[in-house]
Amino acid sequence: MNKILFKKQLSKDVYLMRIAAPMIAEERAAGQFIILQVDDDYGERIPLTIADADIKEGSITIIYQVVGKSTHALSKMKVGDALPALVGPLGTATHIENFGTVVCVGGGIGVAPLHPIAQALKNAGNKVIIIIGARNKELIILEEEMKTIADELIICTDDGSYGRIGLVTEPLKEVCEREEKPNMVIAIGPPLMMKFCSETTRPFGVFTQVSLNTIMVDGTGMCGGCRVNVGNQVKFVCVDGPEFDGHKVDFDNMINRLNSYKEIERDVHNCYLDALVDEKESKI
Amino acid sequence: MSHKTIEQFSEEAKILIADYVTRVDDLKAKERTKIPAQEMPAQDPSIRVNNLDEVALGYTMEQARIEAMRCLQCVKKNCVDDCPVKIDIPRFIDHVAHSDFEGAAGVIKEASLLPAICGRVCPQEVQCQQSCTVGKALKDVDKAVAIGRLERFVADWERMTGRISIPEIKPETGKKVAVVGSGPAGLVVAADCRRQGHHVTIFEAFHKLGGVLRYGIPEFRLPNDIIDREIETLSAMGVEIKTNFVVGKTRKLMDLINKDGYDAIFLGTGAGLPVFMNIEGENLVGVFSANEYLTRANLMRAFEKGKADTPIYPSKKIAVLGGGNVAMDAARMAKRLGAEKVYVVYRRTEVEMPARKEEVMHAKEEGIEFLFLQNAKRILGDEKGKVNGIECLRYELGEPDSSGRRRPVELANSEFILDVDTVIVAIGNSSNPLISQSNPEINVNKWGNIIVDENQKTSMEKIFAGGDIVLGAATVILAMGEGRRAADSINKLLSS
Ligand SMILES: Cc1cc2nc3c(=O)[nH]c(=O)nc-3n(C[C@H](O)[C@H](O)[C@H](O)COP(=O)(O)OP(=O)(O)OC[C@H]3O[C@@H](n4cnc5c(N)ncnc54)[C@H](O)[C@@H]3O)c2cc1C
Ligand SMILES: Cc1cc2nc3c(=O)[nH]c(=O)nc-3n(C[C@H](O)[C@H](O)[C@H](O)COP(=O)(O)OP(=O)(O)OC[C@H]3O[C@@H](n4cnc5c(N)ncnc54)[C@H](O)[C@@H]3O)c2cc1C
Ligand code: SF4
Ligand code: SF4
Ligand code: FES
């Protein structure tokens, strides 16, 4: 059983939790994820990146956005509650070395998984340029943490409520155009954002790593549900990834597959929300 | 064919048995071979396609006794030779014929740990029943003594009458054994090593135990209750269980030995990575591996609509590609999840199909349509990237290939389109890569299967392996057989 040790709401739909998981804290490396369930009979197995870990406390940190039933149920859990199932660390760790100058681009909730990677790249001696994007000011997370790592921090919002107005691809392009071209880019966020970041860097020939968030079931290479086309080869995100060369990923196919259950999930989610509303009303 | 109820079978058997019961020991071989082979009572197909309850209902007591009387008690025991764990078949069957079910259970238990499971899922017609003298005499393997059904009867009788006993445990040795994976191979190793007084820990990646028994083989063929009972027995024996624990990730393999003090490790991690066909359209929305489809349905309980959070794709017309047990399970599960049309598309003919005969028969009764000598050439999709058909080719059988089966040869210009919205690929699995990825020093063959010697020992000290991770996708009983051998080796190692 993995107890929730700490919980904090970061923005409207985004929560941070520290969860007791001493072994995972010890073994994990930047780029890896866990799979958890809020119910081990009927719950879905949801993958979440390990945003941080504290070996002393024996805890890992997750940061997640409420998008459906399971993440909503998770957000309702309290400090002291225990998760019935949590497994990890899964996936392969990010390859960290001193590349020279790296650009870390985080979109929305993608800033959470980006944080440990940026930290590790900084520790390895890289010059780290960080670009954070979000729909509006409310949705920006981990700004302070990123500030302490970044040699240069650029923030953009879609509506201009904070930082620059526009998408992360604009500053990314500008950085690529600089005389001192970056040696590597790492982009994590919604699939569309990662696709366009990859398109932005392609003409400059800058290696661009992305972290794919496909649908998963087991997370150990058994079901094939997480498969993606990378350079015309089938790869399994849970064991071969989650990080891949963004210039080789077939994003359109990935996005299609990610939406496989969209309609059903929406129904389930709505039923679930209706039930919650009913419950509330019946209490009044 | 009209459906016969279990009551009808029971009545018939009661009438039959009256004739034989007084002469059990005097029946001549000729008389025995004339006793009608007992059929397995099953749920009515029109009802069972709407539920997940077990299809085969098990022999009635009279049926079991009649079937047992068909056994000739051969001196040369062909049946035993073909059972991978060498159950003393005639001896246990003789007990059944004499109504001594407890005695029968005792005989089976000498050799097999999980008879309720093997009796249900062993491909008996290619194992113990294949060269049974009765089947040979009647020139029909289907008329062989129904050894598997009798084994199941005995195991169920024991379970239902609450007679399952906890095996005796030798005094604690202080030695520690780690079992990685809780499929049939791992379960056997855990029991056999624990009996010798060693401390045993099972590490399982999933949140539930049982391996393929749980997440692959559906409830309607192997009820979860049966797996649960076996696991309860292990717990009662003092086996420690750690779920949600991926060895090689949560803890490095060698740390189990170097830091945690385990004296030996058994790797029973099973097959993994589903094989795809590498044809166009395989990544369209609506294409699944059988592993994913069945895991969603079984382990994640997607069949319990309204309760389970894990969704399953809403399909009306499904094509299952393949002809093994996995394909049958996926097809029959799809039917139960509400698909209107389910096709099994197989390149060869029914004769070459590797699935258990009983499953094929049940599938047909349930309205699954078999398309033999056909195969998918490419999967077609609509503008949204969703499956809307497959282009198939027709085949004929040519010369035998290296496996001895006649090779399917495609017929030129035989393309046609099958109208489906879902494709389930069930053409096999390659090996689970987790352990070899994180331990490159372990020797594996070109398919990634771990190489072991005749004692199931791997190339690494103190580390043994068995089951599908060694054999490639095989069977429950073969996995158990390997587990038993590995446990023997481990017990020997720890006693020296
Ligand atoms: C390796 C990996 C790491 C991840 N790390 C994080 C993280 O650190 N923080 C975080 O908030 N999320 C992360 N995700 C995404 C997270 O797993 C999903 O948001 C979650 O499973 C949704 O579950 P749900 O039941 O709440 O929503 P559901 O009801 O299952 O889904 C709601 C909607 O979200 C979409 N969706 C479903 N599954 C995913 C998915 N895997 N990725 C994206 N969208 C999905 C569906 O199309 C659906 O429309 C990660 C995913 C992967 C594969
Ligand atoms: C759908 C289906 C139907 C089948 N039908 C039949 C049948 O009718 N008759 C028959 O005889 N055989 C059948 N088989 C085959 C049979 O189930 C397998 O041969 C058998 O289960 C193999 O047993 P195993 O112990 O080697 O591994 P598995 O049963 O595969 O179990 C391996 C376990 O190890 C766990 N694991 C893997 N890696 C790790 C790790 N690193 N750390 C911790 N745990 C790990 C897995 O999660 C899994 O639970 C069927 C298979 C399938 C998929
Ligand atoms: S274990 Fe399998 S092969 Fe052996 S007797 Fe039982 S059914 Fe036959
Ligand atoms: S071969 Fe058949 S008839 Fe002979 S002992 Fe075995 S089960 Fe009985
Ligand atoms: S999640 Fe099942 S293979 Fe990757």
**Any atom of ligand 3 within 6 Å of the Cβ of B475:** no
Give the confidence band of A284 by pLDDT, cuts at 50, 70, 90.
very low
* Rounded CA separation B391/B393 (Å): 7
Token pair in block for residue B151? 């084994």
Q: Do residues B337 and B308 touch, judged by C-beta distance below 8 A?
A: no
**Any atom of ligand 4 within 6 Å of the Cβ of B69:** no
| Subunit contact A23:B251, Cβ cutoff 8 A | yes
Q: Do residues B239 and B200 touch, judged by C-beta distance below 8 A?
A: yes
Residue B47 Cα distances to A181, B44, B51, B103, B457, angstroms? 68, 5, 7, 36, 48
* Rounded CA separation A207/A215 (Å): 25
* Rounded CA separation A21/A33 (Å): 13
**Residues contacting residue A9 through CB under 8 Å, at least 6 positions apart:** A15, A16
* Residue among B205, B249, B304 whose CB faces A27 most closely: B249
Bridge-based pairing of strands B317-321 and B422-425 is parallel
Token pair in block for residue B322? 């393949």
Per-residue pLDDT tens over the stretch A180-192: 899 999 999 999 9
Per-residue pLDDT tens over the stretch A254-266: 999 988 887 766 6
Reading phi first (left if > 0) and then psi (alpha if -120 to 50, else beta), residue B338 is in left
Residue A234 main-chain phi, psi, to 5 deg: -85, 125
Residue B81 Cα distances to A274, B89, B150, angstroms? 62, 10, 18
Q: What percent of chain B has pLDDT over 70?
A: 100
Give the confidence band of A277 by pLDDT, cuts at 50, 70, 90.
low
Query: 3-state DSSP call for residue B345?
Result: strand
Residue B175, Cβ density class (10 Å: 0-12 exposed, 13-18 middle, ≥19 buried): buried
Q: Do residues B155 and B116 touch, judged by C-beta distance below 8 A?
A: yes
Q: Give residue A272's pLDDT.
A: 60
Strand partners, A4: A19
> Which one-letter DSSP state was computed for residue B146?
-
| Subunit contact B295:A218, Cβ cutoff 8 A | yes
Q: How many CA atoms lie within 13 A of B358 on its CB side?
A: 19
* Residue among A45, A85, A234 whose CB faces B276 most closely: A234
Bridge-based pairing of strands B374-381 and B387-400 is antiparallel
> Which one-letter DSSP state was computed for residue B382?
-
* Rounded CA separation B244/A3 (Å): 15
Q: Indicate which ligand has the atom closest to the C-alpha of A141.
A: 1
Furthest-apart CA atoms within chain B: distance in Å? 73
Q: Give residue B407's pLDDT.
A: 87
**Any atom of ligand 5 within 6 Å of the Cβ of A221:** yes
Spatial strand order in the sheet of B317-321: B287-289, B422-425, B317-321, B341-346, B369-372
Mutate to test the interface with A, among B209, B252, B310 (most CBs of A within 10 A): B310
Query: 3-state DSSP call for residue B320?
Result: strand
Neighbours of B344 (CB within 10 A): 28
**Any atom of ligand 3 within 6 Å of the Cβ of B202:** no
Q: Interface of chain A against chain B, CB under 8 Å? A: 23-24, 27, 37, 39-45, 69-70, 84-90, 217-218, 220-225, 227-229, 234, 236, 239, 250, 252-253, 256-257, 259-261, 264-265, 268
Element (H, E) at B461: none
Determine the Cα angle at A107 with ends A104 and A110, to 5°.
Answer: 80
Query: 3-state DSSP call for residue A276?
Result: helix
Residue B307 touches partner A, C-beta closer than 8 Å: yes
Q: How many A×B Cβ pairs under 8 Å?
A: 117
Instruction: Report, as ranges of residue numbers, the positions in chain B whose pLDDT lies below 70.
Output: 1
| Subunit contact A42:B272, Cβ cutoff 8 A | no
Q: Give residue A276's pLDDT.
A: 58
Token pair in block for residue B173? 């040795």
ipTM at complex level? 0.90
Ligand 2 center from residue B392 Cα (angstroms): 31
Ligand 5 center from residue B203 Cα (angstroms): 19
Residue B416 Cα distances to A192, B323, B340, angstroms? 37, 20, 21
Give the confidence band of A274 by pLDDT, cuts at 50, 70, 90.
low
**Any atom of ligand 4 within 6 Å of the Cβ of B257:** no
| Subunit contact B288:A224, Cβ cutoff 8 A | yes
CA-wise closest residue to B423 among B385, B388, B395, B394: B388
Residue B246 touches partner A, C-beta closer than 8 Å: yes
Smallest CA–CA distance, residue B245 to chain A, in Å, is 6
| Subunit contact B308:A265, Cβ cutoff 8 A | no
**Any atom of ligand 5 within 6 Å of the Cβ of A73:** no
Q: Do residues B188 and B114 touch, judged by C-beta distance below 8 A?
A: yes
Q: Give residue A156's pLDDT.
A: 94
Smallest CA–CA distance, residue B453 to chain A, in Å, is 26
Q: Do residues B460 and B248 touch, judged by C-beta distance below 8 A?
A: no
Q: Which atom of ligand 5 is nearest to the CA of B273?
A: 3
- Which residues of B fall within a CB distance of 8 Å from A43? 309
Bridge-based pairing of strands B369-372 and B341-346 is parallel
Residues framing ligand 2 (Cβ under 6 A): A 220; B 121-123, 180-186, 203-206, 211-212, 216-217, 246-248, 268-271, 294, 325-326, 329, 356, 432, 434-435, 467-469, 473-477, 479
- Which residues of B fall within a CB distance of 8 Å from A89? 249-250
Mutate to test the interface with B, among A222, A266, A267 (most CBs of B within 10 A): A222
Ligand 4 center from residue B70 Cα (angstroms): 9
